[in-house]
Structure 1
């Protein structure tokens, strides 16, 4: 029996520095029946030269240049839409894949719509750490588990592969969704089931500026700290509203998920003016093991309380932090 075709959807934008490493890691996969679909979003460095060089050498690499910049979410939508494989895997331009990634995925996906793994963090110089992107601080989830993606995500786009039958439900990717990967994970775990491999199959490149921006808290003053936290809270609320509003439109949602979304939206839309939502607290506490399955057990009740507060309560408790 012929092996099923796996399409690799890659998006590029000024990624020339690391692109060859990533392309080589995909080309050298032990699973050989692949095509690579690359959509470039207007690179001004040597990215296009590299892609043209590789596409001339390898007939299974297909290159498309965007006439205008689409942004990474819509660029992934375009790349995915051009895939013809039975399975579609997503690839960032600067990671490195383990050579058996696709072989393991196609063997392990079975009846599931989507499969993914954790990722091993490496720095800009390619030094590989012993740390994973999600674990051990968080959990990976599997099954029919869409509630876990209402407020958080463990399925990174550069680690996933899904069956082509999912395309009719994920495309077009909604304009206001925060990230394409949480949308794909939510849809896949709503219409079917998802799974993961215990072994992390992607080396995820994290730059020093990313680490600085997410870990260091260089506040200039107490007021600066307050304003920064306020802006972060407001952005998180807006992102949640956008995602939940889109999720709600999926017709096959069960009544429990609809209830959580409705109560959450009512609270979040008044986030700046509200104090504490008893209704939201009760429903999140009831379903905490599903909604916060990605969070470790001891952190789940903490997130229930955090989401149940509004910005005014954050103001009142700020000086006690």
Structure 2
């Protein structure tokens, strides 16, 4: 229980909520930690707020980027600056339960990573009555890397991992758009992961978040089909990118190598839209592992087919 825990936090124009997050961290029941904050070029009062906390608590260390890195590369930098035996990630606008670090340290055992679900709160810190993953999705544990190919249940702000995983995490491939799924895949490949049944983080959702403001304004039916088509193709390309990055990880077993190869081949040719029986067979064979996170919503899957003129024609249904 004397292990040093490093907390990697990234900040950017976070003056509105960062005090709540830092307050929840400095008041943790487990005291042997360092808080590494890497600011990505804030233009508001974020730096002044952090420096005020820093003057009162020498466990807080502030680093300022000369140029904006973006949140994935900023977290990558923050992780490299950590010196603790364990590393936890923190977002600037969330809130932690006071015993989060203590609970995680007591329950990580021999696992490579530990995480939890999160309780959703609004901009006024009021609970919405929902959790981030459950009940629509499942939390997974063990050596379960196949589960992270299509879905992710390990949010970056809810995890803590062993320092020995850093050598595999860094560098985060450029095609990886979210660092948390990369970390979860690696941890469940190199070792095992676990979770606490009690959510340990309050995850804030509010209107200014970019990911919550997705416009669905369609000018016509053809415009809607075109946007849907582009969305499917973008999703296919993202899957190729992720699977290609996963495929380069050392220590993969033959099953997951085969799965990744099939997915890369299928989604690389997704624009042609042929029905891929090899893909269907793969999904049937590994369905319990591939869809362990959202099994309740994956009994029926769909494959989209396109005509030679690249127009959306039909959605083929099959059951797994």
Give TM-score scaled by structure 2 length: 0.93
Question: Residue 299 of structure 2 aligns with which residue?
Answer: 301
Q: CA deviation at 1:296?
A: 2.6
Q: Tell me, in whole angstroms, the C-alpha distance in 2 between the residues paired with 1:212 and 1:267.
A: 30
Q: CA deviation at 1:223?
A: 2.3
Alignment of 1:113-132 (within 5 A): 113-132=112-131
Question: Residue 314 of structure 2 aligns with which residue?
Answer: 317
Alpha carbons 2:305, 2:313 under 8 Å: kept: no
Structure 2, unaligned runs of 5 or more:
none
Q: CA deviation at 1:213?
A: 3.3
Alpha carbons 2:7, 2:36 under 8 Å: kept: yes
1:213 aligns with 2:213: yes
Question: Residue 163 of structure 1 aligns with which residue?
Answer: 162
Structure 1, unaligned runs of 5 or more:
none
1:24 aligns with 2:23: yes
Structure 1 SS opposite 2:24: helix
Q: CA deviation at 1:151?
A: 1.4
Higher share of residues assigned helix: 1
Change beyond 3 A, Cα 1:138–1:275: same
Moved over 6 A (4+): none
Change beyond 3 A, Cα 1:190–1:212: closer
Change beyond 3 A, Cα 1:212–1:186: closer
Alignment of 1:256-267 (within 5 A): 256-267=255-266
Alpha carbons 2:138, 2:153 under 8 Å: kept: yes
Higher share of residues assigned strand: 2
Alpha carbons 1:289, 1:300 under 8 Å: kept: no
Q: CA deviation at 1:314?
A: 8.7
Q: Tell me, in whole angstroms, the C-alpha distance in 1 between the residues paired with 2:276 and 2:311.
A: 13
Give TM-score scaled by structure 1 length: 0.93
Alpha carbons 1:288, 1:301 under 8 Å: kept: no
Q: Deviations over 1:144-163 (max 9, x none)?
A: 00000011101000000001
Alpha carbons 1:90, 1:157 under 8 Å: kept: yes
Structure 1 SS opposite 2:36: strand
Aligned residues: 313
Change beyond 3 A, Cα 1:101–1:32: same
Alpha carbons 1:7, 1:84 under 8 Å: kept: yes
Q: Tell me, in whole angstroms, the C-alpha distance in 2 between the residues paired with 1:209 and 1:138.
A: 25
Q: Deviations over 1:257-310 (max 9, x none)?
A: 01110011111001111221110000111000001100134x2232xx33x545
